[in-house]
Amino acid sequence: MKYSRRAILQSTSCGFGYLALQGFIGEQAAVANGLAEQAPPLTARAKRVIFLCMSGGPAQMDTFDYKPQTGNKRHPGSVFRFHQHGESGLRVSELLPETAKHADELCVINGMYADTGIHAQSFLQLHTGERLRERPSMGSWITYGLGTENKNLPGFISLNTSKSSIYSSAFLPSIYNGTPIGVNGEDMSLATIRNVTSEHLSLAAQRKQLDFVQMLNHDHLARRSGDSKLDSVIESMELGFRMQSEAPELLDIRDETQETLDRYRVGHQKESIGTCRVSDFGRQCLLARRFSEAGVRFIEVNHGSWDQHKNHRRDLKANCDATDAPIAALLGDLKQRGLLEDTLVVWGGEFGRPGLTPGDGKDETGHNSNGFTFWLAGGGVKRGYVHGRTDDTGARAVAGKVHFRDLHATILHLMGLPANDLKYWYAGRDHRLTGPEGGKVVHELLS
């Protein structure tokens, strides 16, 4: 039986497509395209970031910004005792005794300020540089600029969050989207990474199924050259498949010693106190260490419930009790394993709190975006150093002022990325993490 050239091409076209796909998949297996590790344009002091996000607004005057008691009912100063620690003599609240042991590693910024005291807007600005519209998260921007060190894992992981805005890649290709794991600390197993595993198919069967789907996707892409969204979907599906080889082991902490689990206080929180909701923050910090060791570029750890308006003393103490030892264990492990040198740890929330009026029976406090505290550690920043200050009431940053844009610029700079030149064209103009205004690298923070 004879076939025309057209009939032969028609009958074998799927085979040609499959052969092309096999070459494509082989290339994917070697390098994870959009997530391929990239050399930074500038000298990098840090290779990765662990962001300890304290959602709700920690009270700066009762954690790291000491203000002596004044006797003034409107502005009494810090209501908890502070002590000096380490060779640096850095002052830390009595509520954070374990973190205080690492005082000589901390670079405290007491001159932070933001544009608004509205939770949702300031929280969005902290993560994306924009307070009114969804934009790529800081982790997405960094992964876009540098890729990931491990082709089998995402470049950006967000632990214990239900807010997609803080791990969204927005208009950046979806391969730079953060991977959320766990909600409110209840489950941080592989099962919480949606669509990664299958209960019905073996790994080999999944590979065969994915090859077929990717053949169709790749054929679709060939007719739509330059479609970054489709290209990102293809890459994301391959990443999801590869994650099965490494993510289960990282999420399984049974290989950790009991001593390590106790230092991180894994599983120690059993019930909520006031606004301090149940959240296995110790497990998050331990997973952050494991993911950083494995080459994940940006890891966000979330602890909510710092939005305490009443019962300030009780709830602030509960929050500090929940986070103090795990953070200290994380810093200690990073230092002991030689990772702190090139891991930038960032601690803070969307704003701070004004002073508390003592003895009035209300124990109330509010929002303060005009002056609050962040701290950094590792990754090329000064050790045992305090930058900036608020006024005598702790209400307003008056020296060494650092806006979120400047914090973003400094983090990008430490990662070897030009702060205001990392851009992406969208909707007719360039966009960047530091916004239209741009941010200033705070060189005083750098070692």
**What is the pLDDT, as a whole number, of residue 209?**
62
Query: Is residue 96 in some structural domain?
Result: yes
- What is the 8-class DSSP label of residue 88? T
Mean pLDDT split into 10-residue runs, the chain, 447 residues: 40 37 34 73 97 96 91 77 98 98 98 96 96 94 93 89 85 89 57 53 63 64 64 58 69 92 84 58 95 96 88 91 97 98 98 72 80 98 98 93 98 97 94 96 98
Angle at 161 between CA 335 and CA 183, to 5 degrees: 105
Q: Is the dihedral of CA 235, 300, 109, 264 positive or negative?
A: negative
Report CA-CA distances (Å) from 371 to 13, 38, 108, 117, 145.
65, 36, 13, 11, 31
Pick from 180, 212, 183: nearest CA to 196: 180
Q: Is residue 379, in this structure, part of any structural domain at all?
A: yes
Domain membership of residue 161 (yes or no) is yes
Identify whether 204 is part of a domain: no
Q: Given 3-state DSSP classes, what are the helix, strand and coil percentages for the chain, each rounded to the nearest 5? A: 40, 15, 45
Q: What is the CATH number of the domain that holds 270?
A: 3.40.720.10
Amino acid identity, residue 215?
M
312-336 and 281-294 helices, crossing angle to 10°:
30
Phi and psi torsions of 35, nearest 5°: -95, 10
* Residue 242 belongs to a domain: no
Buried b (16+ CB within 10 A) or exposed e, 105-115: bbbbbbbbbbe
**Interatomic CA distance for residues 147 and 38, integer angstroms:** 6
Gyration radius of the chain's alpha carbons: 24
Number of domains in the chain: 1
- Domain span at residue 326 reads 32-190+264-445
- Do the domain assignments include residue 153? yes
Which amino acid appears at position 341 of this protein? E
In a domain, 124, yes or no: yes
CA angle at residue 130 from 60 to 106, to 5 degrees?
35
Closest CA to 407 of 88, 332, 415: 415
pLDDT at 200: 64
Residue 53 belongs to a domain: yes
Phi-psi region of 360 (alpha: psi -120 to 50; beta: other; left: phi over 0): alpha
Category of 384 on φ-ψ map: left (φ > 0), alpha (ψ -120 to 50) or beta: left
